[in-house]
Homo-oligomer: A and B are copies of this chain.
Amino acid sequence: MNKNHIVFFENLLGEENVYFDKAHQIAYSYDATKKRYEPDGVLFPRNEDDVSKILKYCNDNHIIVVPRGAGSGFTGGALAVNGGVIISFEKHMNKILEIDLENMVAVVEPGVINMDLQKAVEEKGLFYPPDPASQDYSTIGGNVSENAGGMRAAKYGITKDYVMALRAVLPNGDIIKAGKKTIKDVAGYNVAGILIASEGSLAVITEITLKLIAKPKLKKTAMGVFNSVNEAMNAVYKTMAAGVTPVAMEFLDNLCIRAVEDKFNKGLPKEAGAILIADVDGNLEATLEKDLEVINRVFKENGATDFIIAKNEQESKDMWFARRNCSQAITCYGSLKINEDITVPRSELPKLLQRIKEISTVFNVTTPCFGHTGDGNVHTNVMVNKENQEEVKRGYEAIEAIFRATIELGGTLSGEHGIGISKAPYMKLAFSDEEMNLFRSIKKAFDPNNILNPFKMGLDENK
């Protein structure tokens, strides 16, 4: 990068917040996709005003800016695929600014780690439900930019359901506020709504106001064992339709169950076609018992061979152990995991899982599936041997076929992970030319010089 630019950044932020050395280029070159793109440099703004000045300068000089949370994304949202500067919030803009008990609201900077926020609010009897698997390290800024989901989405929704207001900096340096600490606000366009899930491509988020809820006092876990995936998938949507909304309703297929059991020996039913793990919560024992009674009935009506309620916290943890260690355990099926997070309307889950099975057979790949079936979100893992080029090719062909099946069933390419670069080639399966043109118009309205996280989401024809 031009030396003058570096000098500008150093004068603005201090040398200790500007890094254009190889070590930082490497350290900020990757995310959970394991793809690598080195940025020219990394900037650590101290506050919103710094962010504004960085953006204005970069916009005037056509320098690409990529905002980055923890780099835990699965689709390359935080990768500087075409160079430029990374803006990182991890050094300075990482504070919980306020936990407002009276209005049940938290105000945070983008670099706050999800779990730190969860712990801080739970100490005060409040609850921040969105819990992506990356919660121990991913940041709220990243969660908002990707609209992160998690285990508890079936009952409590996803990040967007908790964002009340944002402060953000536009590519031209303008500082804007969007939304309020109020439940209702219909003045002006819903700018916060469109910044959520925009993958850092419209504005740089500098402050987030989040809705909190009262922490439910009680929680119970139960596990249902099924002979087939089809029975389990029917049980999922029929439970919800029976009027019970479990906090989570997670699923493991037989490939996952066997992988976990072979590795950890926890006494799981290895011959089962599928298991479902459900959490229910509330403030009264009677409510939880009633919910578990309904779930038991619906599970049994749909062929469950066993239904076990955890008697205590330890038994609950044991049940969740299988689910939490699934992603790691299934690496036994192949050295390369092509991991997607397709989502369909819940009633289409039985058909989706059947289609995935057929596709796996056609392309001769192993495809263990698990995930958040309570909200229709299935983590589909095509496992291949990365040394075998031909197998890898078949793996990606299988993924494309799975995407097509998902769209046919009224589903989406991504329930949680975003599009980034990984899913960009598939955008044309899901969106019409008219819809892609609208996305481009929106991008241009916010970022006419295309400096902010460009070449993502399939918006740029040339990438």
Contact = CB atoms under 8 A, between A and B. Distances in A.
Nearest to A75: B186
Contacts of A430: 187-188
Contact of A434 (B170, B193, B194, B287): B170
Contacts of A190: 147, 160, 193-194, 196-198
A439 to B, nearest CB: 5
Given A187-B430, A290-B284, A241 B104 contact: yes
A57 interface: no
Nearest to A438: B176
Nearest to A457: B188
Interface stretch (A3-11, A272-280, A411-419): A411-419
Contacts of A197: 186, 189-190
A191 interface: yes
A249 to B, nearest CB: 12
A343 interface: yes
A445 B439 contact: no
Interface stretch (A151-159, A218-226, A302-310, A384-392): A151-159
A185 B412 contact: yes
Copy number of this protein in the oligomer?
2
A105 interface: yes
Interface residues of A, number: 91
Contact of A435 (B176, B417, B457): B176
Contacts of A198: 189-190
A12 interface: no
A317 interface: no
A184 B445 contact: no
A324 interface: no
A103 B345 contact: yes
A26 interface: no
Name, among A157, A191, A193, A438, the residue most crowded by chain B CB atoms within 10 Å (CB to CB).
A438
Contacts of A375: 182-184
Nearest to A213: B245
B188 A439 contact: yes
A42 to B, nearest CB: 26
Contact of A186 (B214, B372, B417): B417
Given A190-B193, A377-B184, A419-B187, A441 B434 contact: no
Contacts of A176: 432, 434-435, 438
A238 B411 CA distance: 42
Interface in A340-363: 343-347
A97 interface: no
Given A182-B411, A184-B375, 14 more contacts: A101-B241, A102-B241, A125-B243, A153-B184, A177-B435, A180-B412, A181-B345, A181-B410, A182-B344, A184-B416, A186-B418, A188-B457, A189-B198, A191-B439
